[in-house]
Amino acid sequence: MELIDGNQIAAAIIAELKTEVAGLTGRKPCIALVRVGDDPASVSYVKKKEKTAAEIGIEGRIHLPPVDITQEDLFALIDRLNADPGVDGILVQSPLPKHIDELAVFRRVAPEKDVDGFNTLNLGKVAQEDDTGFVACTPAGIMELLARSGTDLKGKHVVVLGRSLIVGKPVALLALQKKAGANGTVTICHSGTTNLPSFTRQADVLIAAIGRAEFVTADMVKPGAVVIDVGINRLPDPAKKSGYRLVGDVHFASVAPLCSKITPVPGGVGPMTVAMLMQNTVKAHRLNPRR
Ligand code: NDP
């Protein structure tokens, strides 16, 4: 069994971006990071994104509107960032408070600054296999992990657990693309799937993104499969200072010995998401006619 080391692969991508940014003349890339309220997970995600941006030489501009901001005021902030020629990319940290229509916010971000890849146009470009857009960071990170660990999806049965707009659907579309490294035969499972293990057991490559702690057990995995665990779940653990431990959607201890390759949690897909956000920001800067 080979462990796919997301920390190491993300570090290599960040180093590549750092070299690219150091070679730029003129204004450096700039990402606006918008965090509404003080959700602890969001605070730590935005901090990590700000720190990684700084490491690469990307300017990070932080916007912290209050948790009770109205939808209209949030739209107004996004409109200002959309119009600001010095901002290449905009990230609105999810989840947003319940009174805000999250999808409407994602759609409000100008497609050419949508480094999160959640805008309708950019999702559509993934379906059309048009590389001029931005691919959502977690799905892009999964594809990069597969490519850099030498997993070609051609001729493989790829089973995706989960059909969310931010992970399941886009990663299924990417795996399906008629391109080098992709070209997989893809099945998507969700909460309405009957006899889910009968599908997972057929997977040459299993991508688990359902948000259920240690849901995928050894009896659900074909020996020799490649397993990508996207899940980030907190299980109570009094032995830890934080009071919890992070686990994926896969029961790592029992599944790992069966696999040819597997990503750990933490240290698998998570670091790739941030690296791909930075890659998208550098791309947005490259494509920005006003840089
Ligand atoms: P969502 O809650 O948006 O979607 C979960 C999907 O899983 C849904 O399609 C749902 O089905 C399906 N599902 C839920 N329970 C079951 C079940 N018992 N059997 C089959 N399908 C099920 O989650 P996300 O896609 O946003 O995230 C998934 C996981 O990935 C989470 O743990 C999240 O924390 C993690 N994540 C990690 C990231 C990273 O950087 N590593 C980034 C983003 C997410 P239905 O559609 O029918 O409701």
The per-residue pLDDT for 151 is: 98
Q: What is the DSSP string of 205-238?
A: EEEE-S--TT-B-GGGS-TT-EEEE---EEEE-T
Nearest-CA residue for ligand 1 atom 41 is 270
The pLDDT-based confidence of 196 (bands split at 50, 70, 90) is very high
Per-residue model confidence as pLDDT tens digits over 76-113: 999 999 999 999 999 999 999 999 999 999 999 999 99
- The answer to whether the CB of 231 is under 6 A from ligand 1 is yes
Longest dimension (CA), the chain: 57
Residue with tokens 């600001």: 84
DSSP state of 268: S
The per-residue pLDDT for 233 is: 96
For the chain, domains (ranges, CATH) are 25-112 (3.40.50.10860), 137-270 (3.40.50.720)
The per-residue pLDDT for 230 is: 98
Closest CA to 130 of 141, 117, 142: 117
Atom of ligand 1 nearest to the CA of 233: 32
The pLDDT-based confidence of 191 (bands split at 50, 70, 90) is very high
pTM of the model: 0.97
CB 133 within 8 A of CB 126: yes
Q: How many CA atoms lie within 13 Å of 206's alpha carbon, on the beta-carbon side?
A: 34
The pLDDT-based confidence of 158 (bands split at 50, 70, 90) is very high
Average pLDDT over residues 46-54: 98
The per-residue pLDDT for 18 is: 98
Average pLDDT over residues 275-288: 97
- What mean pLDDT value characterizes the chain? 97
The pLDDT-based confidence of 187 (bands split at 50, 70, 90) is very high
Residue 220 C-alpha to ligand 1 middle, in angstroms?
18
Residue 211 C-alpha to ligand 1 middle, in angstroms?
4
Percent of the chain clearing pLDDT 90 (strictly above): 98
Ligand 1 pocket, mutate which of 93, 191, 196, 251 (most atoms under 8 A from CB): 191
Residues marked as catalytic: 49, 93, 116
The pLDDT-based confidence of 288 (bands split at 50, 70, 90) is confident
Residue 231 C-alpha to ligand 1 middle, in angstroms?
7
**Residue 290 confidence (pLDDT) above 90:** no
The per-residue pLDDT for 291 is: 74
Whole-number Å distance between alpha carbons of 51 and 57:
10
- The answer to whether the CB of 269 is under 6 A from ligand 1 is yes
Atom of ligand 1 nearest to the CA of 211: 32
The pLDDT-based confidence of 198 (bands split at 50, 70, 90) is very high
The per-residue pLDDT for 225 is: 98
